[in-house]
Amino acid sequence: EKGGFDHFMLKEIADQPQAIADTLLGRLTDNGIALDEVRLSDQDLRDVEKVFIVACGTAYHSGMVAKYAIEHWTRIPCEVELASEFRYRDPILDRSTLVIAISQSGETMDTLMALRHAKQQNARVLAICNTNGSTIPRESDAVLYTHGGPEIAVASTKAFLTQLVACYLIGLYLAQVRGIMYPDEVGAVVRQLQQTPDLLRGLLDQMDPVRKLSRDLASARQVLFIGRHVGYPVALEGALKLKELAYMHAEGFAAGELKHGPIALIDDGTPVICVVPSSAMHDKVVSNIQEVRARGARTIVIAEEGDESVEAYADDVIRVPRVPTLLAPLMTTVPLQILACEIATARGYDVDQPRNLAKSVTVE
Ligand code: M6R
């Protein structure tokens, strides 16, 4: 069943190009997005004045990325919130609020309770879910399924990437229906999305440097992750993977926050994994990396192909294909998944069944 891989997690990482292709299948046209299956009328979507995304863990990280994309493409205010916090602060919700609940399993109790709360307040609820007929989509007004196939490993990998794809589709669809983006603008992003499975296949073939690196990092006392913009949720996701699989102290930070406290954690040789964007943020992140290096950090840089500036400040470089900024998490997350998996293996832990964790958390 593991298809020749040692762990389900490795198989599921390798499945990601196909999972993305399957999630896109039938939903793209030459000049836009076709989401007829989502049972919200175009009028409902035009009436949306505010978007809330609720989710837990890895799914929450996909929601953080989605916020950047949805606000950029639609200009609708969008907030992301941990499902376990959402209802306790009495959020302001009404008929014009779209609540997007993201869940691989569709059974996460915190997310379910958040969506029930949203429905009681008359908000419309759209689920992004990987499990057909599970509770969260059943209780939602509408659902967009990710077609990732069953995810067995406790650590979420292909669910994350397909959740990102589903979020992009919803963001673009909202922009299309509301006339915020022209069809050719939507079409341009659609074509870029269509290329991602092939780019990801190429990336997966080049992960030997990550495997080598994992042997070095297996004995580190802590590993820090930094990123900005959509690289920030990727940093959080990289740290979560390392915590849950390798039981190491790992933290993700928004790179701009370092100087407000976390930089004190850095001493000689502390590994800092840096997600570098190609966008407007590039030079800012580079100066954040120089700051940590000046304090002794070992800088492990995830940079796009063609970005030659890295040689000046990187102790190790991991290359990923160049894609538009908002889509970059589809690439930059993958080396971090492999790194966590390999470090856990090097430390002798059960990758598919980490201690203290369940695949689906059905209690609050
Ligand atoms: O099934 P869900 O997507 O609702 O699960 C949410 C989290 O429990 C889940 O993503 C968890 O954080 C993963 N184990 C992370 O790898």
Could you give the CA distance from residue 191 to residue 280 in angstroms, rounded to a whole number?
22
pTM of the model: 0.97
Q: What mean pLDDT is predicted for residues 178-204?
A: 95
Reduce the DSSP state of residue 348 to 3 states and report it: coil
pLDDT tens for 292-348 read 999 999 999 999 999 988 888 999 999 999 999 999 999 999 999 999 999 999 999
Ligand 1 center from residue 332 Cα (angstroms): 19
Question: Of all protein residues, whose CA lies closest to atom 11 belonging to ligand 1?
Answer: 57
- Ligand 1 centroid to 309 CA: how many Å? 36
Specify whether the CB–CB gap between 68 and 96 falls below 8 A.
no
Span from the CA of 361 to the centroid of ligand 1 (angstroms): 8
The predicted structure's pLDDT at residue 30: 74
Ligand 1 shell residues, CB under 6 Å: 56-59, 103-105, 108, 111, 154-156, 240, 244, 360-361
Catalytic residue positions, numbered = 359
Q: What percent of the chain has pLDDT over 70?
A: 100
Write out the H or E segment, with its range, that includes residue 128.
strand 124-129
Q: Give how far Cα 363 sits from Cα of 237, 325, 358, Å.
A: 22, 36, 11
pLDDT tens for residues 202-228?
A: 999 999 999 999 999 999 999 999 999
Strand, coil or helix: what is 289? Answer: helix
pLDDT at 52 over 90: yes
Lowest mean pLDDT among 38-47, 103-112, 160-169: 38-47
Mean pLDDT score, 161-184? 95
CA–CA dist 65, 312 (Å, integer) = 29
The alpha carbons of the chain give a radius of gyration, in whole angstroms, of 20
pLDDT per residue as tens digits for the range 137-167: 999 999 999 999 999 998 999 999 999 999 9
- The string of pLDDT tens digits covering residues 160-170 is 999 999 999 99
pLDDT, position 34: 85
Q: Where are the beta strands (DSSP E) in the chain?
A: 28-29, 32-33, 50-55, 78-82, 97-103, 124-129, 142-145, 222-227, 249-254, 271-275, 298-304, 316-320
Pocket test for ligand 1, best of 105, 107, 158, 362 (most atoms within 8 A of CB): 105
Atom 4 (ligand 1) nearest CA? 103
Residue 335 C-alpha to ligand 1 middle, in angstroms?
A: 19
Among 59, 325, 24, 320, which Cα is nearest to 200's?
Answer: 320
Longest dimension (CA), the chain: 58
